[in-house]
Amino acid sequence: MKKLQNQFLFSFIVLITLWNVLFRVALSYVLKNEIFNMVIIPPVIFALLMFFTGKYFGLKQWKDLPTDVSFKYHLSSFCIFFIVSYGFYFSDLLSKYEPRLIFDYVLIFWGLGLIFHFIQYLKFKKSSIKGIHHDQIFD
Q: Which of 17, 25, 39 is nearest to 93 (CA)?
A: 25
CB 6 within 8 A of CB 44: no
pLDDT digits (tens, 9 = 90+) for 32-64: 999 999 999 999 999 999 999 999 988 887 777
Confidence (pLDDT) at 129? 62
Residue 123 has pLDDT above 90, yes or no: no
CA-based nearest residue to 6, from 66, 59, 61: 61
- Candidates 104, 80, 107, 66; CA nearest to 24 is 80
Domain that holds residue 74: 2-137
Q: HEC profile for 89-127?
A: HHCCCCCCCCCHHHHHHHHHHHHHHHHHHHHHHHHHHHC
When divided into structural domains, the chain yields a total of: 1
